[in-house]
Amino acid sequence: MSREPAGPSAGLPSAGLPFGGGDGGVPAVEVRGLHVDLGGTPILTGVDLTVAVGEWVTVIGPNGAGKSTLLRAVGGLLPAPGAITLFGTASTALRRRDRARVVATVAQSPVVPPGMSVLDYVLLGRTPYIPTLGRESTADLDAVHEVLGRLDLTGFHRRELATLSGGERQRVFLARALAQGATLLLLDEPTSALDIGHQQEVLELVDQLRREHGLTVLATMHDLSLAGEYADRMVMLAAGKVVAAGTPSEVLTEHLLATHYRASVRVVPGTHGPLVVPVRPRAHL
């Protein structure tokens, strides 16, 4: 499994990198001093984060640490004035359509209209390119069919999403994101509720697309061993702050996990990264 940054995007439909493009070392994502309050409660309190073009960074942390809130802010779903730049451009300066051509989000449980087919759902990813009151073009349909083919979903295009397995639906959610031509993927718990086989299938797919097409990945994950196997770097949040950042081996330590997760674990070396094994706490005598 490659740990080198991926090369330029090719093959998949793409809007390119219109806002700096990563040239000259411009990061894909730069977050500085991000504060987010929800309902008067501080969720993020001064978060800093940088993601290089082509890099996979995974954000971890205990429940309530602010992981999903961070992704929502980066994706433009929460206000973050002056705190976030994407490919060298202030996030607040991006029009909605421009943002949708650069950033695609795969939420934990996307809302799917009842009865919607796979083809129609993935076509929603082309919305940023379809004129108001217009219809999809032949180019839009070609882009969708290309993505479906690359994700081994061609035979599913007429199926309703509700009839698919968990792993198949995850591939469809990714297909919609890729149909946007986005260069930055935000993945919020992409393997939640999936069995181990489907977890591996989805993560291998994302890593393959990242390496082959130059995509940048910012993800949140609960499974620490899987997170450590796929991420180039990891960021640990706790109580709305960054408490650790670095390679998986630097972040996934028994001390940090005991301190911030209050967990009893053993961390052992793995082929692609450290493996976190829960162990029963010692009984207090």
Domain ranges across the chain: 27-278
pLDDT in the model for residue 244? 97
For residue 211, the tally of other CB atoms under 10 A from its CB is 18
| Phi, psi (deg, nearest 5) at residue 38 | -125, 120
Rg (CA), the chain: 19
- pLDDT reported for residue 23: 47
Ramachandran region, residue 76 (left: φ > 0; alpha: ψ -120 to 50; beta: rest): left
Unique residue bearing structure tokens 């330590």: 253
Is the pLDDT confidence value at 57 over 60? yes
Contact indicator for 191, 223 with CB cutoff of 8 Å:
yes
> pTM here?
0.85
> Class of 27-278 per CATH?
alpha beta
- Whether residue 7 has pLDDT greater than 70: no
State the pairing for strand pair 84-86/89-90. antiparallel
Q: What is the layout of strands, in order, in the sheet containing 216-220?
A: 103-106, 184-188, 216-220, 56-60, 233-238, 241-246
Euclidean distance between CA atoms 61 and 260, whole angstroms: 8
Average pLDDT over residues 219-241: 95
Give the model's pLDDT for residue 3: 44
